[in-house]
């Protein structure tokens, strides 16, 4: 893929055009020479459509007020008030309305052919991150994908299964919990590694997972980078004594370093894997712009979540008995103190579908 230099003015105009499209459309249906047969999501809660509801962890969203703006107001395990990027990707690519969690026992064999979600809320690239919250580590998600591959080969044959996987898009959203749950909060990692050393550890692990998926037949991969972590409401709260509620720059710098590492990792992979199409989806810049320019997106609250006080409530702390949950989540960037509202996920997904994902088609 050739790189191209773009002037700041042209880049700004293009982003403005994308913003207008994303605000006016429920989703963007990509039509081109090649139809995407399936999509797969790996990673954390930004993509988990309900897997954690089947593994006995408290790190889930299968209770109110999660799901209150979802179809029939049903909490499904999606850690938001409604749909996630996973769902908007599936819908926008014309595949299906919702992306089901792989561990759902009611999932029909035919549904598998168009893809599934393997993500697990609370997980990370570091196995210790998954252990802290008793969730599915990424290596196990890939084991589930191997199981999935055998299932569809049994349905349509090995050759057709390989074709589906070769033309499918694989999304990764991972890294947030490694920093905010693990490194900067509760684990010994901060005593063992500098931020840079820990970042390198995560990126080396990430590289191994991508190579493993490539060896399983994946050729189209999109890596969603991490948001400005120090601006998450929970991080504003944890560091409020020294920052007075402002974004924490130390944590933000860790996020910036990790995201820069993702870009370098991608460039490092391309020469050795010529048939690999791999891109980074810049989630970070969109969240940063939401925070800097909320009125541009018809947002009013960007420093706390809709649920409860919005300062600390996430997961089981955000429940049907939590007081003060906002009446209209569409004016908020965050639904709880970590995760976005459906409105924000929809907008971000439309930008990715319009601006970035066509590079994989």
Name the catalytic one among 120, 121, 280, 339.
Answer: 339
**Which phi-psi region, left, alpha or beta, contains residue 339 (left: φ > 0; alpha: ψ -120 to 50)?**
beta
Cβ atoms 345, 88 nearer than 8 A: yes
336 in active site: yes
284 in active site: no
Q: Give start and end residues of each alpha helix (H) in 116-188.
A: 127-133, 138-156, 158-167, 176-177
Cβ atoms 87, 47 nearer than 8 A: no
**Cα angle 71, 167, 84; round to 5:** 25
112/149 Cα distance (integer angstroms):
9
Name the catalytic one among 45, 120, 337, 349.
Answer: 45
Continuous segment of H or E residues that includes residue 207: helix 195-215
Residue 281, SS3? strand
Question: Which residues, 6 or more positions from 242, have their beta carbon under 8 angstroms from its beta carbon?
Answer: none
Name the catalytic one among 280, 336, 337, 349.
Answer: 336
339 in active site: yes
Cβ atoms 190, 183 nearer than 8 A: yes
Cβ atoms 212, 141 nearer than 8 A: no
By annotation, the residues acting in catalysis are: 45, 336, 339
């Amino acid at each position: 893929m050739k790189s191209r230099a773009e002037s700041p003015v042209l880049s700004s105009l293009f982003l403005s055009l994308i913003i207008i499209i994303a605000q006016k459309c429920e989703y963007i249906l990509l039509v081109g020479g090649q139809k995407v047969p399936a999509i797969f999501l790996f990673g954390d809660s930004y993509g988990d459509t309900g897997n954690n509801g089947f593994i006995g962890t408290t790190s889930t969203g299968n209770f109110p007020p999660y799901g209150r703006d979802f179809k029939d107001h049903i909490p499904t395990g999606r850690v938001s008030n409604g749909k996630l990027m996973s769902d908007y990707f599936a819908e926008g690519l014309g595949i299906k309305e919702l992306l089901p969690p792989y561990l759902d026992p009611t999932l029909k064999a035919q549904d598998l052919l168009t893809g599934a979600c393997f993500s697990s809320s609370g997980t990370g690239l570091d196995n210790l991150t998954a252990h802290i919250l008793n969730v599915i580590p990424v290596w196990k998600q890939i084991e589930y994908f191997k199981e999935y591959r055998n299932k569809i080969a049994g349905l349509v044959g090995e050759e057709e299964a390989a074709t589906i996987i070769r033309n499918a898009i694989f999304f990764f959203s991972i890294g947030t919990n490694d920093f905010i749950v693990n490194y900067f909060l509760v684990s010994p990692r901060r005593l063992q590694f500098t931020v840079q050393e820990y970042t390198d550890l995560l990126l080396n692990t990430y590289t191994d997972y991508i190579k493993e998926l490539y060896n399983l037949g994946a050729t189209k991969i999109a890596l969603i980078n991490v948001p400005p972590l120090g601006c998450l409401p929970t991080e504003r709260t944890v560091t409020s004594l020294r920052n007075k509620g402002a974004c924490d720059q130390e944590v933000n710098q860790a996020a910036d370093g990790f995201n820069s590492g993702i870009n370098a990792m991608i460039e490092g992979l391309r020469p050795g894997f010529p048939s690999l199409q791999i891109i980074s989806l810049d989630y970070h810049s969109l969240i940063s712009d939401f925070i800097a320019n909320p009125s541009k997106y018809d947002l009013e609250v960007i420093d706390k979540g809709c649920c409860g006080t919005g300062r600390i409530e996430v997961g089981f702390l955000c429940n049907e008995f939590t007081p003060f949950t906002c009446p209209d989540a569409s004016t908020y960037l965050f639904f709880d103190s970590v995760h976005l509202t459906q409105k924000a996920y929809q907008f971000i997904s439309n930008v990715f579908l319009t601006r970035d994902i066509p590079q994989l088609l």
